[in-house]
Amino acid sequence: MDLAIDVIDENKKTIVKLSGEIDAYTAPQLKEKLLQLTKIEEHKTIVDLENVGYMDSTGLGIFISALKSTKENNSSIRLVNLQDRVLRVFQITGLDEIFTIHTAIRGGNE
Amino acid sequence: METLKPDAANYQSLLKHYIATQDEHSLYGAEQITKQFIKNNIPPEEIVNLHIQAMAALYPDLPEYFRHSMKFLLETMISYGIAHQEYHTLREQQSELKSEIAVAANMQDTLLATTKPAIDGLDIGVVSVPAHQMNGDYHHFVTGEDGSLGIAVADVIGKGIPAALCMSMIKYSMDSLPERTMRPQTILKNLNRVVERNVESSMFITMFYAQYLPADGKIRYSSAGHEPGFYYNARENRFEEIKAKGLVLGVDPDTDYRQYERVLHQGDMVILLTDGVTECRQGDRFIESEEVLDVIARFSHLQAQDMVDKVYKHFERLQNFRLRDDFTLIVLKKEV
């Protein structure tokens, strides 16, 4: 299955909307996009996972690299709209405690 | 080229015959010559050259444009021949690499080998099967001087060779820890620092570490983001998820791990696994963790080794004998 990456650029903020599955095959393109965004000083990246039904551990690795990159570049990354299966992967690995995760993109978080 | 000479005469006569008759036999003869050429590694431009010479001998008055066109084809075939040669070299290199990887995989097996220990009153079953040539799952048993048993189950993310190499690092870090630091939370804290320092940023390791103390039937455990195992309570005939939370190894160097404790009673079981088990798929559908439990429960009356073998066979069959991920399942059953 493929992964579609839609990018909506706003002022100092980018929403990355993903649809499909994140696995070893689709991960490289996502990695490139996220690292490119998180390298911009003070940039905010919001990843919308509403249409992602499956993510394997390769996907986690990519989010971890992106998080490390935000720390080096004083930028930020936020994950929103996670489906239960994907959220569970973050919970099992304890990563839900070091990532900013919201289950809804709207509702005055910004 | 010496080997070409008899073929050159043969080619010319076949060609002559074919031009005159267009008969199938000449084509068959040409096919035989081709086989000979392939066997002798004759590059394609040599064959074109053969054709040019044969034509010149048969028809001395060939028009100039035809001769130019053949020269053109010859030049074209030279670059084709070079590419073809490269392809062969690559194929050879690939097969060399393959056998080197096989050697590495073998070595890895030897390095990471662990023996299932014999502990009085504890029945242990283990199955660990790699999806590819090298296993990114890892399990290890270590018996302490005080008679306690340490059990590590780990999964490296990434797969394949880098993951497998990473496992050797983990194994040697664990071996070098002094025995008095055998407590699960201390081991994970130490390993976390090793992994954080030595592994690239998108790679990480999940590990469940348990320590069984036979004298009081107690098990202590900590988890570094590892797929939760299950606990079987024999008296209540009930499975439950082992809840142990902790961050995966290699992400944050200052992480502390919580340690949990539990007393096992007769017939109780501890089931440890990697996500190769819970991420089994049947076609496009995932196997839910309740189903994994159902299968485990179905075979739980068996001896531990028999039980894990049966569970593995079940899932292997569901996935049409093609694992997507390394598969490791360990069962500890308290006998008395």
Supply the ipTM of this predicted assembly.
0.82
B184 reaches A (C-beta below 8 A): no
Closest chain B residue to A55 measured between Cα atoms? Answer: B279
- Contact yes or no for B225/B246 (Cβ under 8 A): yes
Residues B206, A93: C-beta atoms closer than 8 Å: yes
Question: H or E stretch including B29?
Answer: helix B24-39
Greatest C-alpha distance within chain B = 103
Q: Which residues in chain A touch residue B275, judged by CB atoms under 8 angstroms apart?
A: 57
Q: At what angle do helices B24-39 and B44-58 cross, to 10 degrees?
A: 140
Residues A24, B203: C-beta atoms closer than 8 Å: no
B227 reaches A (C-beta below 8 A): yes
- Whether the per-residue pLDDT at B269 is higher than 70: the answer is yes
- Lowest mean pLDDT, pick from B48-57, B251-260, B269-278, B292-301: B269-278
Please report, in angstroms and rounded to a whole number, the separation of the first and last CA atoms in chain A: 32
Residues A93, B275: C-beta atoms closer than 8 Å: no
Mean pLDDT of chain B: 87
Q: Checking DSSP bridges between strand B230-233 and strand B149-157, what pairing results, if any?
A: unpaired
Tell me the domain boundaries of chain B. Answer: 4-92, 119-334
Q: Per DSSP, what are the bridge partners of residue B241?
A: B230
- Contact yes or no for A59/A90 (Cβ under 8 A): no
- Contact yes or no for B71/B51 (Cβ under 8 A): no
- Contact yes or no for B154/B139 (Cβ under 8 A): yes
Quick one: pLDDT at residue B160?
Answer: 64
Class of domain B4-92: mainly alpha
- Provide, rounded to the nearest whole percent, the portion of chain B with pLDDT above 70: 91
Q: Which residues in chain B touch residue A58, judged by CB atoms under 8 angstroms apart?
A: 157-159
Phi (first) and psi of residue B230, to 5 degrees: -125, 155
Quick one: pLDDT at residue A109?
Answer: 41
- A3-102 is classed CATH 3.30.750.24: yes
In DSSP notation, chain A reads --EEEEEEEETTEEEEEEEEEESTTTHHHHHHHHHHHHTSTT-EEEEEEEEEEEE-HHHHHHHHHHHHHHHHHT-EEEEES--HHHHHHHHHTTGGGTSEEES-S-SS--
Among B156, B251, B274, which would you mutate to test the A interface (most chain A Cβ atoms within 10 Å of its Cβ)?
A: B251
Quick one: pLDDT at residue A108?
Answer: 42
Pick the CATH number of B119-334 from 3.90.105.10, 3.20.20.80, 2.60.40.10, 3.60.40.10: 3.60.40.10
The SS3 call for residue B116 is coil
CA-CA-CA-CA dihedral for B272, B266, B264, B182, to nearest 10: -70
Most confident of A40-44, B141-145, B156-160, B194-198: A40-44
Q: Which residues in chain A touch residue B247, judged by CB atoms under 8 angstroms apart?
A: 93-95, 97-98
In chain A, which residues have pLDDT < 70? 1, 104-110
Residues 6+ apart with CB under 8 A from B19: B58
Residue B31: other Cβ atoms inside 10 A: 10
Please report, in angstroms and rounded to a whole number, the separation of the first and last CA atoms in chain B: 81
